[in-house]
Amino acid sequence: MQEKLKQIAAAAQAEIITDKHTLEAFRIKYLGTKGIMKEVFEAFKQVPNEEKKSLGQLINVLKNELETLYTSKKEAFENVSEQASNQDDFTKPGIKVPQGNRHPINIIKNDMIAIFERIGFTIAEGPEIEDEWHNFTALNTPEDHPARDMQDTFYIDSNTLLRTHTSPVQIRVMETQTPPIRIITPGRVYRNETISARAHCTFHQVEGLYINKNVSFADLKQTLLYFAKEMFGQNVDIRLRPSYFPFTEPSAELDISCFICDRKGCAVCKGSGWVEIGGCGMVDPAVLENCKIDAKEYTGFAFGMGIERITMLKYGIDDIRLFYENDIRFLKQFA
């Protein structure tokens, strides 16, 4: 029996183990439920009692040697496998990284800015938290004007509010700069409105202001006509309908001819052939005087347009809420 144990130990040491498959074959052959060690233990039962102590010790030594050999080989293969997995394989195809894209509002805002920059306008920005002077009073808005009510304005305290338009930026510029002034003021504004498919409590505007000597309504019309053709196509025309704004006189609503139906009448233009995109007018002399600009020497015009409104027209979007829901399926369409 002792001689047989020596032969088993020698044979095990001579086994050629090169990978996980040959290692598993080694385990089955020597340590498996039907392996050589199983046969040794079965034969051990027939050994006389007086020999069992010494022979049992030899059997246990052999078993430990086989298990140690198996464990050491297994750990060696695992270490090699781990090292290989940590090495970069530059022949493998790369992992495609998803590419982001601009939000549709930013796309149109940048387009609008670029158009006005081409005719000499520069960008001016200001705070979104304003005081009543810059947001209402300096803009010639009466104390009893509905826009001042809590129903339309988010007040922080009695004199502080979230701006309802970007016109306060124009006031700040006129207070600190001397004419000529030619600026656009893009930015986010806030109004206390019920959120629906056509309205939201926060949205974006691009407003424009030009102050200089001898500025006329004709200059305003030509500026807006240039913008409309650059933004919507050379076949687009504009019309100006009389309106009222506290800070301009005369005032007008700006319409463009419906480029979707070519003025034949559709759901977008409600059959009229025209689509409203903003408001405009000549700066009221009272606003100039509030900013310490001589209204006898200088005149100017101002205009304002909603970026969401123009984005919806350009891309055929029928629900303003889509801009703020961060639905990746919606945003991917503008990549």
For the chain, counts of helices (H) and of strands (E): 11, 9
Each residue of 227-259: pLDDT tens digit? Answer: 999 999 999 999 999 999 999 999 999 999 999
Q: What is the rounded distance in angstroms from the CA atom of residue 85 to the CA atom of residue 87? A: 6
* Confidence at residue 54, expressed as pLDDT on a 0 to 100 scale: 81
pLDDT score of 28 more than 60: yes
Contact 74, 66 (CB under 8 A): no
Question: Any bridge partners for residue 305, and if so which?
Answer: 206, 278
Binning pLDDT at 50, 70 and 90, where does residue 59 land?
A: confident
Q: What is 104-334's CATH topology?
A: BirA Bifunctional Protein; domain 2 (3.30.930)
Average pLDDT, the chain: 89
Instruction: Give yes or no for residue 72 having a pLDDT over 90.
Output: no
pLDDT of 85 reads 59
Judged against a pLDDT cut of 90, whether residue 105 lies above it is answered with yes
pLDDT of residue 246: 92
**C-beta neighbour count of 122 within 10 angstroms:** 12
Give the pLDDT score at 158: 87
Laid out side by side, the sheet with 274-283 consists of: 122-123, 181-190, 202-212, 299-306, 274-283, 248-257, 238-245
Q: How confident is the model at residue 84 (pLDDT cuts 50, 70, 90)?
A: low
Q: How confident is the model at residue 279 (pLDDT cuts 50, 70, 90)?
A: very high
112 Ramachandran zone, left/alpha/beta (phi>0; psi -120 to 50)? alpha
Q: Is residue 189 a contact partner of residue 152, using CB atoms and an 8 Å limit? A: no
Averaged pLDDT for residues 290-308: 96
Helix axes of 217-232 and 104-117: crossing angle, nearest 10 degrees: 130
Among 8-12, 161-165, 231-235, 317-321, whose mean pLDDT is lowest?
8-12
Cα 114 to its chain centre, rounded Å, is: 21
CA distances from 288 to 235, 258, 271 (A): 36, 35, 40
Report in angstroms the alpha-carbon separations of 276 from 108, 114, 271: 17, 22, 13
In percent, the amount of the chain with pLDDT more than 70 equals 96
Confidence of residue 70 (pLDDT cuts 50, 70, 90): confident
H helices of 32-165, in order, are 36-44, 49-86, 104-117, 132-135
Q: What pLDDT was estimated at residue 56?
A: 78
Residue 83 has pLDDT above 70, yes or no: no
- Position 262 confidence tier, pLDDT thresholds 50, 70, 90: confident
Distance CA 85, CA 78 (A): 11
pLDDT tier at 87, thresholds 50, 70, 90: low
